[in-house]
């Protein structure tokens, strides 16, 4: 994370609009600096943190763009690992013993008959180690003396510049009181990260799909200018970059501005996330189900299209992103949600069942692994349909149930155009703020 | 469905209370939920009882601590605690510096005997509180700040970290103690007090903020902590806590080589500052302007680097180490505190003379160990960077040596006042070692003039 002194000089204010002076990622000068720094760090392998700081200082020299150079170096340093030197005894024990003799001097004197050399020697002898070992052990627990043991990921110069730009944007969010985002697609990761960073959200479905989401924290309504959640908002930013189409407004109070400023960002920006989006499938079970569906029911073989996690159920205080959505290709309004409840920890299941109860959602079909200690009764009150399975869900059975459900909810499919468009997205906006609220992902 | 109230990130939230209902004033309907700041917890109690709202807020627990301290409280400390009890254990106690505020707090914790958090202004004071509480109760004490995060039923934090602590563990504490409570009106400092649901609160300070000083913030100390319950002024305590000491300035010369480097860098640096009239055009903000320019203008950059080299030189010039050694030899049987602002110099001295160092890197346990060892005589000297500035108890120290004088007058005076607590009737001494014909001399002069008007003259 870049510190304020490395971010602040890169900001521009025009009225209440805040912008960042980002680096051109193809600029040969910056690429060269990035390369120099990456090489410099590599050369420091096995050297102390202090040595790296000095090498950096001399590399920066009289350059006026030192704010950028230090910023690039900060990113490298944060990703690198410095480890303490192995010592024959804990440094703190040595200090306790040695400092009892202080103050000592190089030459003897009436009150201090023992010189520094003699004290070091006698303590070394008592411990059966050398005087040199005493010297190196003395402050070996200070981070300044830690040795560079791992220079971190394999940076490319362009990759480092890209990361620097991302960190600048995150740096701005440090001073954010709240942000609003609009996203149109693939939000699964978004909910996951909102939970992960303990943010509060308030989501409203948008006309034409997608959501408008306000992000802040519990105290925000009472202390509107609070910067309490800036750190979490900054940490969250890479998650937003995982979405395909989005825009963000951040309400920011950087130190150089009098009041609130706005920082805008959208999917056209060049920033790239270093977070991993969740793979196509969370589990083997899901992958197998999707494959089987493609083989037997995919393409022209049926009238259902299976899509991944494109719908979000806002349930009370939390969200649920069902694994699959089955969309009737003849009438896109006919949708059945599929959730596979596989091999999970009992606590996860308990929360899952609670969620399903809360959902009270008629177009949700649950496929539950029989071997789990979830009783069938647990799902009885749920409005949702439940199918239990032993090894894997039986596709035929699943699709029969899907047809039944669709017919019950949307009516016979022969005359779909007469059906009124029913809302399946929740009528009310919901927020996620209960501390007990659960996440889709067991953390 | 039964109604309940729970704690969430500094707020109290009603569960199963409809938007149509009308809970009392502090609650606001926010995104379909009734919510208010944590500090209203005490005042909403009647409502919770009348409406039979289940209270799921408190997570605090008995401390079961036994006070080890056998020291008898002063009369005024007894009075202060009685007044606080009378005010239902909400409010501030105003006592002059050095009158034993920590002792009062320890007594208060012992009386309440429920989980407590102490909020201190700085990490250094946090460490001091930690040491005092460990000694007072002979029990584990948690610390929560940037360096260490360990939450226990009795925990010390800083104003800076208190918000995060409250967001996560706010309802784990029944009593909150605000040390130097006059800091609360500052924009970010009051937030933790706002978030905490703790019904019992104690503010401690020597200088309670005036009404007009409370307005710049968004909250009033009285609202967050309660009213002033007790005040004792310095005049009422004369003779009890005053210390006597003398100060002495030692001027050392730079070596020839150092002088040459100093003069060159000084010329480079001041030459630029004067040529651009930075001081005339920017007043006190001239240094900020120099920093800004240094990111654009190569000359400014060189001037700034020259300034940095110059300060580094002054911090570690040979003469100072020679003077230090002479003083350490001279006061061989005394407890000595050495101050310097530079971390690297601290560790140089620690290594050179084999004396313990306290800096921002030193953790709470080792710090306590060093200060305890200083008191018992296991250690005779401590070298420290600016961390022992404010409110640190080192009653054994009779000699203080300040290497270099780059800090402000206020800080300097506080150092004096602290080091030189009255122990028996021995006179204490403070030595300031400064380099002759350098910027240190003029700084030292300025400080002397400011001191002339102070209580320590």
Strands B200-205 and B90-94: parallel
Query: pLDDT higher for A235 or A281?
Result: A235
pLDDT category at A419 given cuts 50, 70, 90 is very low
Judge whether residue A226 has pLDDT over 60.
Answer: yes
pLDDT category at B421 given cuts 50, 70, 90 is low
B407 closest CA partner among B341, B457, B337: B341
Peptide bond preceding A103: is omega within 30 degrees of 0, i.e. cis? Answer: yes
The alpha helices in B170-255, defined as continuous H runs, are: 191-195, 211-214, 221-225
Nearest to A98 among B295, B298, B354 (CB): B354
The alpha helices in A229-306, defined as continuous H runs, are: 230-241, 284-297
Cα–Cα distance, A274 to A354 (Å, whole number): 34
pLDDT category at A348 given cuts 50, 70, 90 is low
Contact between B248 and B431 (Cβ < 8 Å): yes
Judge whether residue B81 has pLDDT over 90.
Answer: yes
Cα–Cα distance, A80 to A42 (Å, whole number): 10
The mean pLDDT value of chain B amounts to: 83
Q: How many Cβ atoms are within 10 Å of B235's Cβ, its own excluded? A: 7
Judge whether residue B388 has pLDDT over 70.
Answer: no
Nearest to A92 among B302, B329, B366 (CB): B366
**Whether B355 and A62 lie within 8 Å, measured CB to CB:** no
B222 closest CA partner among B87, B117, B361: B87
Least confident of A184-198, A427-441, B192-206, B423-437: A427-441
Query: pLDDT higher for B69 or B334?
Result: B334
Strands A331-341 and A324-328: antiparallel
Least confident of B237-241, B352-356, B451-455: B451-455
Contact between B232 and B96 (Cβ < 8 Å): yes
**Whether B356 and A227 lie within 8 Å, measured CB to CB:** no
Cα–Cα distance, B388 to B405 (Å, whole number): 15
Query: pLDDT higher for A170 or B67?
Result: A170
Cα–Cα distance, B95 to B93 (Å, whole number): 6
DSSP code for B455:
T
- Categorise residue B8: left if φ over 0, alpha if ψ from -120 to 50, beta otherwise: beta
Cα–Cα distance, B411 to A138 (Å, whole number): 31
Q: What tokens appear for A134 in the block?
A: 């005493």
**Whether B353 and A119 lie within 8 Å, measured CB to CB:** no
Please report the pLDDT score of residue B246 as a whole number. 65
CB contacts of A433 in chain B (<8 Å) are 8, 13, 31, 33
pLDDT category at A292 given cuts 50, 70, 90 is confident
CB contacts of B347 in chain A (<8 Å) are 139, 142
Q: Read off the pLDDT of each residue in A392-419 and give the average, rounded to a whole number.
A: 79
Q: Which long-range contacts (CB under 8 A, 24 or more apart) does A202-209 make?
A: A202/A429, A202/A430, A202/A431, A202/B31, A203/A312, A203/A314, A203/A429, A203/A430, A203/A431, A204/A429, A205/A425, A205/A426, A205/A429, A206/A182, A209/A184, A209/A185
Cα–Cα distance, B129 to A320 (Å, whole number): 46
Please report the pLDDT score of residue B454 as a whole number. 38
pLDDT category at A43 given cuts 50, 70, 90 is very high
Look up the ipTM and state it.
0.71
Q: Which of B5, B9, B334 to mutate to test the interface with A (most CBs of A within 10 A)?
A: B9
Judge whether residue A8 has pLDDT over 80.
Answer: yes
CB contacts of A222 in chain B (<8 Å) are 11, 36-37, 194
Please report the pLDDT score of residue A442 as a whole number. 29
B23 closest CA partner among B35, B32, B31: B35
What is the tens place of the pLDDT at every residue in A145-195?
999 988 888 899 999 999 999 999 999 999 998 899 998 876 767 877 787
Quote the percentage of chain A above a pLDDT of 90: 33
pLDDT category at B62 given cuts 50, 70, 90 is very high
Cα–Cα distance, A336 to A364 (Å, whole number): 6
A362 closest CA partner among A399, A337, A340, A387: A337
Judge whether residue A274 has pLDDT over 80.
Answer: no
Cα–Cα distance, B380 to B328 (Å, whole number): 10
Contact between A168 and A7 (Cβ < 8 Å): yes
Please report the pLDDT score of residue A74 as a whole number. 95
What is the tens place of the pLDDT at every residue in B284-309?
888 888 888 998 899 999 999 999 99
The sheet that has A324-328: what strands, in order across it?
A: A304-308, A324-328, A331-341, A364-369, A385-389
Question: E strands, A56-120, where?
Answer: 81-83
Burial class (CB in 10 A: 0-12, 13-18, 19+), A338: buried
Query: pLDDT higher for A305 or A264?
Result: A264
Please report the pLDDT score of residue A320 as a whole number. 73
Please report the pLDDT score of residue A307 as a whole number. 80
Please report the pLDDT score of residue B391 as a whole number. 42
pLDDT category at B144 given cuts 50, 70, 90 is very high
Contacts of residue B440, defined as CB under 8 A and 6 or more positions apart, other chains included, come to B314, B404, B405, B406, B434
Please report the pLDDT score of residue B408 as a whole number. 42
CB contacts of B194 in chain A (<8 Å) are 219, 222-223
CA distance B249 to chain A (A): 22
Q: Read off the pLDDT of each residue in A202-212 and give the average, rounded to a whole number.
A: 81
B95 closest CA partner among B319, B391, B380: B391
**Whether B353 and A101 lie within 8 Å, measured CB to CB:** no
CB contacts of A10 in chain B (<8 Å) are none
Give me the helix-helix angle, A49-60 and A28-43, nearest 10°: 150
Judge whether residue B242 has pLDDT over 50.
Answer: no
CA distance B210 to chain A (A): 23
Q: What tokens appear for A78 in the block?
A: 């944060």
What chain B holds in terms of domains, given with CATH numbers, is 4-55 (3.40.1170.30), 75-237 (3.40.50.300), 245-252+316-452 (3.40.50.300), 256-315 (no CATH)
Instruction: Provide the b/e sequence for B346-379 (b: ≥16 CB within 10 Å).
Output: bbbbbebbbbbbbbebbebebbbbbbebbeeeeb
The mean pLDDT value of chain A amounts to: 81
Give me the helix-helix angle, A49-60 and A66-79, nearest 10°: 160
Side-chain-side CA neighbours of residue B299 (13 Å): 9
Contact between B402 and B323 (Cβ < 8 Å): no
CA distance A103 to chain B (A): 5
CA distance B37 to chain A (A): 7
Judge whether residue A441 has pLDDT over 60.
Answer: no
Contact between A145 and A85 (Cβ < 8 Å): yes
Contact between A398 and A306 (Cβ < 8 Å): no
Please report the pLDDT score of residue B411 as a whole number. 54
What chain A holds in terms of domains, given with CATH numbers, is 91-140 (no CATH), 174-278 (3.30.70), 284-432 (3.40.1350)
CA distance B169 to chain A (A): 12
Please report the pLDDT score of residue A203 as a whole number. 82
In whole angstroms, how large is the CA radius of gyration of chain A? 30
3-state SS, residue B11: strand
DSSP of B408-440, one letter per residue?
-HHHHHHHHHHHT---TTPPEEEEEEEETTSHH
Judge whether residue A11 has pLDDT over 50.
Answer: yes
Q: How far is CA A138 from CA A19, A90, A107, B183, B351, in A?
A: 48, 9, 21, 39, 8
Q: Which of A99, A119, A180, A231 to mutate to test the interface with B (most CBs of B within 10 A)?
A: A99
Please report the pLDDT score of residue B189 as a whole number. 85
Please report the pLDDT score of residue A439 as a whole number. 32
Least confident of A19-33, B15-29, B317-331, B400-414: B400-414
What is the tens place of the pLDDT at every residue in A80-100?
889 998 899 999 999 999 999
Please, which residues bridge with residue A205 across strands? A211
**Whether A64 and B298 lie within 8 Å, measured CB to CB:** yes
Nearest to B31 among A9, A104, A431 (CB): A431
- In this prediction the pTM is 0.72
Please report the pLDDT score of residue A73 as a whole number. 96
Cα–Cα distance, B364 to B369 (Å, whole number): 9
Judge whether residue B243 has pLDDT over 60.
Answer: no
Please, which residues bridge with residue B7 across strands? B12
Give me the helix-helix angle, A28-43 and A157-173, nearest 10°: 100
A30 closest CA partner among A161, A195, A206, A154: A161
Contacts of residue A159, defined as CB under 8 A and 6 or more positions apart, other chains included, come to none
Nearest to B37 among A65, A222, A431 (CB): A222
**Whether A66 and B347 lie within 8 Å, measured CB to CB:** no
């Amino acid at each position: 994370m870049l510190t304020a002194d490395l971010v602040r000089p890169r900001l521009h204010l025009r009225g209440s609009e805040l912008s960042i002076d980002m680096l051109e990622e193809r600029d040969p000068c910056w690429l060269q600096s990035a390369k120099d720094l990456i090489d410099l760090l590599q050369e420091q392998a096995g050297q102390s943190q202090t040595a790296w700081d000095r090498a950096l200082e001399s590399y920066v020299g009289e350059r006026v763009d030192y704010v950028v150079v230090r910023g690039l170096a900060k990113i490298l340093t944060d990703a690198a690992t410095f480890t303490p030197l192995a010592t024959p005894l804990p440094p703190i024990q040595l200090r306790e013993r040695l400092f009892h003799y202080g103050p000592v001097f190089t030459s003897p004197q009436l009150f201090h008959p023992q010189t520094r050399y003699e004290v070091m020697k006698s303590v070394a002898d008592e411990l059966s180690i050398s005087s040199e070992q005493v010297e190196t052990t003395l402050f070996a627990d200070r981070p300044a003396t830690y040795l560079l043991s791992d220079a971190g990921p394999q940076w490319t110069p362009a990759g480092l510049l890209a990361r620097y730009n991302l960190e600048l944007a995150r740096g701005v969010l440090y001073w954010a009181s709240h942000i609003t985002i609009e996203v149109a697609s693939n939000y699964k990761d978004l909910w996951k990260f909102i939970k992960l960073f303990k943010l509060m959200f308030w989501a409203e479905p948008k006309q034409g799909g997608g959501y408008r989401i306000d992000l802040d924290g519990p105290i925000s309504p009472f202390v509107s200018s609070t910067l309490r959640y800036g750190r979490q908002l900054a940490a969250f930013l890479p998650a937003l970059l995982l979405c395909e189409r989005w825009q963000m407004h951040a309400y920011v109070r950087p130190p150089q501005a009098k009041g609130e400023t706005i920082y805008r960002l959208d999917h056209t920006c060049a920033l790239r996330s270093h977070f991993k989006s969740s793979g196509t499938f969370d589990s083997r079970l899901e992958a197998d189900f999707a494959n089987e569906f493609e083989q037997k029911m995919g393409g022209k073989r049926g009238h259902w299209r299976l899509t991944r996690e494109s719908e979000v159920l806002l349930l009370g205080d939390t969200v649920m992103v069902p694994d699959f959505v089955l969309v009737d290709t003849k009438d896109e309004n006919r949708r059945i949600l599929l959730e596979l409840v596989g091999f999970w920890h009992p606590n996860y299941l308990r929360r899952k069942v609670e969620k399903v109860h809360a959902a009270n959602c008629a177009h949700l079909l649950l496929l539950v692994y029989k071997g789990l200690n979830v009783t069938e009764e647990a799902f009885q009150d749920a409005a949702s349909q439940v199918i239990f399975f032993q090894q894997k869900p039986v596709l035929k059975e699943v699709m029969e149930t899907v047809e039944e459900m669709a017919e019950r909810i949307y009516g016979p499919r022969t005359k779909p155009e007469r059906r009124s468009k029913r809302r399946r997205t929740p009528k009310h906006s919901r927020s996620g703020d209960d501390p007990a609220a659960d996440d889709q992902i067991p953390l | 469905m039964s109604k309940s109230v729970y704690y969430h990130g500094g707020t109290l939230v009603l569960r199963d209370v409809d938007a149509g209902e009308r809970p009392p004033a502090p609650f606001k309907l926010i995104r379909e939920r009734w919510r208010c700041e944590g500090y209203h917890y005490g005042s909403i109690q009647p409502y919770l009882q009348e409406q039979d709202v289940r209270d799921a807020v408190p997570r605090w627990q008995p401390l079961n601590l036994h006070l080890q301290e056998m020291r008898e409280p002063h009369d005024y400390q007894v009075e202060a605690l009685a007044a606080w009890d009378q005010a239902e254990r909400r409010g501030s106690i105003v006592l002059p510096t050095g009158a034993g505020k920590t002792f009062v707090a320890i007594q208060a914790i012992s009386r309440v005997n429920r989980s407590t958090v102490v909020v201190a202004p700085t990490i250094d004071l946090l460490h001091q509180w930690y040491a005092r509480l460990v000694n007072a109760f002979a029990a584990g004490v948690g610390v929560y700040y940037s360096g260490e995060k360990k939450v226990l039923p009795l925990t010390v934090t800083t104003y800076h970290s208190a918000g995060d602590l409250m967001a996560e563990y706010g309802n784990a504490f029944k009593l909150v103690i605000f040390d130097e409570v006059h800091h609360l009106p500052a924009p970010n400092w009051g937030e933790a007090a706002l978030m905490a649901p703790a019904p019992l609160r104690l503010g401690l300070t020597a200088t309670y903020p005036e009404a007009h000083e409370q307005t710049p913030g968004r909250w009033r100390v009285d609202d967050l902590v309660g009213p002033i319950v007790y005040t004792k002024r310095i005049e009422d305590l004369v003779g009890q806590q005053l210390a006597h000491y003398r100060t002495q300035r030692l001027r050392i010369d730079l070596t020839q080589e150092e002088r040459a480097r100093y003069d060159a860098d000084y010329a480079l640096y001041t030459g630029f500052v004067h040529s651009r009239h930075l001081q005339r055009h920017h007043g006190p903000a001239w240094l900020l302007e120099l920093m800004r320019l240094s990111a654009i203008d190569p000359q400014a950059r060189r001037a700034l680097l020259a300034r940095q080299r110059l300060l580094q030189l002054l911090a570690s010039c040979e003469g100072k180490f020679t003077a230090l050694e002479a003083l350490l030899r001279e006061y061989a049987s005394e407890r000595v505190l050495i101050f310097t602002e530079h971390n690297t110099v601290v560790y140089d001295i620690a290594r050179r003379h084999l004396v313990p160092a306290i800096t921002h890197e030193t953790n709470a346990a080792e710090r306590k160990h060093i200060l305890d060892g200083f008191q018992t005589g296991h250690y005779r000297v401590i070298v420290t960077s600016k961390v022992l500035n404010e409110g640190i108890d080192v009653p054994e120290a009779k000699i203080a040596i300040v290497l270099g004088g780059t800090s402000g007058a206020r800080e300097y005076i506080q150092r004096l006042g602290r080091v030189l607590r009255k122990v028996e009737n021995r006179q204490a001494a403070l030595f300031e070692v400064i380099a002759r014909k350098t910027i240190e001399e003029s700084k030292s002069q300025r400080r002397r003039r400011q001191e002339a008007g102070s209580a320590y003259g």
